[in-house]
Each structure stands twice: as C-alpha cells, then as structure tokens.
Amino acid sequence: MKKEIDNKLNLKNIKPTAMRQLVLQVLTEQKTAISLPELEQKFEKADKATLYRTLKSFQENKLIHSIEDGSGSLRYALCQDNCECDPEDLHVHFLCTNCNQTFCLNDIPVPTINLPSSFSFESVNMVVKGICSNCKK
Amino acid sequence: MKKEIDNKLNLKNIKPTAMRQLVLQVLTEQKTAISLPELEQKFEKADKATLYRTLKSFQENKLIHSIEDGSGSLRYALCQDNCECDPEDLHVHFLCTNCNQTFCLNDIPVPTINLPSSFSFESVNMVVKGICSNCKK
DNA sequence: AAGTTGATGCAACCGGGTTGCAAAGTTATT
DNA sequence: AATAACTTTGCAACCCGGTTGCATCAACTT
C-alpha cells in the first residue's frame, strides 16, 4: 500500500511527504471526485491551505485533474494511468443533483466541437447533471 | 426601444419595474454573457442583491439562461426567442482565457451524451476554453 | 554546523453568492 | 380615497470556497 502510494508520487516527481501520502491515499480510496472542503473533512485536523497546495501540486504534476462540478465548486479526481491531461484525455463528468457527488465517466470522452475558425481551442469542461445510479434505486 | 423591452418582460410574465427594464436593456446590448459583479459595474449605484434577484427572476421566467463559465462563476445571457431552456435548447459556451469573456455559441448545440443506463439525464453544461476571435488578432 | 530550499500551519483576506429585514412602492379591496 | 395585502428594493450582514502572507519547521546541501 504505502509502497504504491510513494511510487505514484515519485513517478510524477512529487516529493512524498506525510501529508501528500495521506491525501493521495484518500484520493485513491475515493470513487468520486472530491472537493477541497470535503477533503478537509476526511481529516481530524488538517489545514485547508496545506490541502489546497497539495491538490495544486498534484494537479500541476498531472496526478489529478480538476473539474468545475456544475455547482460552482471545484472537484478533484485521480487521473487515469496514461493521462497527460491533454484534450484527448478529457472525459465527461456527471453531477448527481440528489447526492451531490461527481462521477468521472472515464470511458466517455468529451465530444469534439467544431469551433468557428476564429476561435482557438485550449480545453473543455463538460458536466452532465441528473440522478446517479445509487440514488435511482 | 422602451416598448420592446417592456414587451419582452410582459411576454415572460415579469412585471416591468424600472430596475428590470434597465437590466434587460444592459443584457440586450451585451454581446457576451455577463456575471453579476460585471452587471453591478454597469451601474453607477445599484444594489447587488437587487440585481441578483432580478437575474434570478429573469432566469425563472426563461428570459435568460445561466452558465458556469469555467472559471468558477456564473454568467447570464439572453435566451433565444424560441428558447424553453430544455435540453435541446442548450448550446455550447466559450470562455476566452485572454479577455475572460464568455460567448454563447448559439448555433452549436451541446452534443448528446449516451449515459450509462443507470444514470438519468437532467441537464448539461459545456464550456470550451481558448482564445476568442478578438484576442487572436 | 550553518545555509538554502521547500513544506506546513495559522491567520487573514477576497469575492461571488445569498439571506433577513425594514422601507418604499404597487395593486387590490372596500 | 383610505386601508390592507403584496411585491420590489436597498442595506447590511453573512456564508463559503478559494487564495495569500508570513513565520516556523523539516529536509537536504556544502
């Protein structure tokens, strides 16, 4: 366990501090994308700013990606192994309006948009809202 | 001018107060989607809360639609004439990472996503980021 | 061991969004 | 025309996610 965590960090050139190990641990166990305040709650006593900076460095090193979740806040989730956070790596996200969880639909790529030629493309954020499988039952 | 504004409001069953006329005026002149703080700045002296509630009632009455602009804040733009804010009415939005303006790509509908059958669809938000035509020059 | 660099914790701030409440304005009722 | 009932407005205050400054602490360099 510990080994794998450290491995992942090293692979992305992130110095494996205690804090970072813990955060990555949480992110690994987490099936849905998590927000900063949610992450904060996972710890008894943790500093928001530290977590914030931890997530930021994870993101800069392409260990996680962030999405605007459709309710005005950011959420974070682990990238797929091969992810380079390039446009082709982007997938659709799903926000459940009932339980408020955000799911990575990893196997649904964001459709390509034919922009007017006067616009140039950098990235795209696509969030579908509805009811998730858990809440439908 | 005044006539058209009032007409639009009446059509959507919104009582045409002075404030609402002014806000709709601004929205009509505005080519890009506007945020609440931006709207505030368009007036010498206007109350944020009132503007907020004005936008809210416009939205409830389907005179305008809102989008999460990809930078964490909401923006508002006039609906098309025939718009019912149904999923089929949704279009893609474009955020310029240079000038920070949000454009309605009215003629680019949001592509349909085939959700896993266990998820049900309500709505979708799609924002493309890049450089707009003005900034490319 | 001293010096450099980076990580952490605390506090404070910022800005968008939102609400409560009282005053002003409008509409309806007699 | 006067009153009651409802709506809109303005002000203040608040909430919360995100962010920064700064001092401290840890790790690593020479």
Which of A124, A134, A135, A137 should one mutate to test binding to chain B, selecting the residue with the greatest count of B CBs within 10 A? A124
Report helix, strand or coil for A59. helix
User: For the range A21-26, what are the long-range contacts, defined as Cβ-Cβ under 8 Å and sequence gap of 24 or more?
Assistant: A23/A51, A23/A54, A23/A55, A23/A58, A24/A58, A24/A63
Task: Give A-chain residues touching B126 at CB under 8 angstroms.
Answer: 110, 113, 124-127
Distance B126 CA to D17 C1' (A): 22
Terminal C-alpha separation, chain B: 34
Domains and CATH numbers, chain B: 2-136 (1.10.10.10)
Size of chain B in residues: 137
Give the nearest partner residue to A127 out of B125, B133, B136, using CB atoms: B125
Q: Take residue A44 and report the two structure tokens written for it.
A: 């008894």
CB atoms within 10 A of CB A77: 21
Contact A74 B73 (CB under 8 A): no
Contact A122 B116 (CB under 8 A): no
What's the pLDDT band for B1 if we cut at 50, 70, 90? low
Distance from CA of A121 to the nearest CA of B (A): 5
**Percentage of chain B lying above the pLDDT 70 cut:** 99
Residue-wise pLDDT for B4-60, tens only, equals 899 999 999 999 999 999 999 999 999 999 999 999 999 988 999 999 999 999 999
